[in-house]
Chain A
């Protein structure tokens, strides 16, 4: 309590618009990253579960590489190494680097989530779909996907929350998201306690809200009999 009493509340109040600017950038990058990792997860997860030739082994390599290297190194690789790619330099702006790196990272984790989920769909359900005359693709969209996506939901929710939290690492490449905004604010005001406690509180509110929303979605989508 003494901590809160010693706070320069006026300073926090005056700089709330700055935090809001940073939060908007964080949410924008996180939203693109989450949406992208959902698509990557479903497509490559399906390819892995159905052992699609060529695509499945490539997806396996992608998953292992991105799950076994730190995301901060991945960010620096995209931002710092690709511009020096021998013969074909690739230069991206910080915003693109931002959503691309969290999306590719989340996609790798989500591929694994959806692979496990699709494989957990009982084979007899798929057989039933095929027996009814559905094509393999139609069986996937009408049987495997609706059931598998529900099985994947709890683990993929964790991935989406991690994607949001990982956008904070984009501060390392100077992208003006929430953490970076706080960092610059601290270096010009020398009020680290106020700035970082506010930063932490904002993250907790956003992360807890996102988790709660996801649980609502999970509950709404759950099959009534299994509630």
Chain B
């Protein structure tokens, strides 16, 4: 193997891949928690609340993720009363969570509504309140239907972490690009761009492919 490979691979794996996975984990947790909450609340028959939550879902589903991240990272700090500047890492994780939570909310709403009404009534008859009924009876059953979309969301979240490179997070794609620039600067003509971009593709494929397979498998088994 040529000697330029070793330091580049080390940098991309130890710095880039780690950051990619860290953003993905934060964004997945954020999306799931907010999404399940919003999606469950969407099943309450109270018009103003429904309209508000529908707006939340349609806005974050309608905006390109890069625009959401720009809003969180660039626009929010200059907004009156907020003035809070997130770091690039947090900005990307929050932006991805807003987008992901809208996806999870839609899936949760469908899953909760697919649970037969008798389950609600039976839980209510046993003395469960709204919260207890959903946490202990409805959501555990809805999880079965929710798991496949959550797994395919994971694959999408991992892929979309690359957008964080556009606000300066050194995740996998950004470390690859920096390596290309450095090699170009050092060696002149040959930047090994083809090999490095190819490696980034292969790396994402190796992570994403098993996850999408798992989603398809769960879809067949559970739904």
Contact = CB atoms under 8 A, between A and B. Distances in A.
A65 interface: yes
Nearest to B71: A196
A80 B197 contact: yes
A171 interface: yes
Contacts of A168: 64, 66-67
Contact of B71 (A73, A80, A191, A197): A197
Contact of B79 (A3, A72, A76): A3
A122 interface: no
B62 interface: yes
Contacts of A211: 62
A73 B162 CA distance: 8
B74 interface: yes
Count chain B CB atoms within 10 A of each CB in A69, A70, A71, A80 and give the residue with the most.
Answer: A70
Interface of A: 2-3, 6, 64-65, 67-74, 76-77, 80-86, 165-166, 168-169, 171-172, 179, 182-183, 186, 191-193, 195-197, 199-200, 203-204, 207-208, 211
A203 B194 contact: no
Interface string B155-187: 100011111011000000100010010000000
Nearest to A67: B212
A179 B62 contact: no
B208 interface: yes
B218 interface: no
A69 B159 contact: yes
A204 B80 contact: no
Given A168-B64, A203-B62, A70 B160 contact: yes
19 contacts: A64-B205, A68-B208, A69-B204, A69-B205, A69-B208, A72-B162, A72-B173, A73-B197, A76-B197, A84-B194, A165-B65, A168-B66, A171-B166, A172-B166, A179-B70, A182-B70, A192-B77, A196-B70, A197-B75
A181 to B, nearest CB: 12
In which size bucket is the chain B interface? Answer: 35 or more
Nearest to A197: B75
Nearest to A89: B194
A141 to B, nearest CB: 30
Given A165-B63, A199-B70, 19 more contacts: A64-B209, A67-B212, A68-B159, A68-B205, A69-B204, A70-B204, A72-B166, A73-B162, A76-B177, A76-B197, A80-B177, A81-B194, A84-B190, A84-B192, A169-B163, A171-B66, A179-B70, A192-B70, A199-B67
A166 B63 CA distance: 10
A191 B74 CA distance: 9
A12 B43 CA distance: 38
Contact of A203 (B67, B162, B193): B67
Contact of B80 (A3, A186, A197, A207): A3
Contacts of A171: 66, 166
A81 B198 contact: yes
A172 B70 CA distance: 13
Nearest to A208: B62
A186 B191 contact: no
Nearest to A195: B75
Contacts of A203: 62-64, 67
Nearest to B68: A200
Contacts of A86: 194
Interface string B70-103: 1100111111110000000000000000000000
A208 B60 CA distance: 12
Nearest to B81: A2
A200 B222 CA distance: 37
Nearest to A169: B66
A73 B173 contact: yes
Nearest to B59: A204
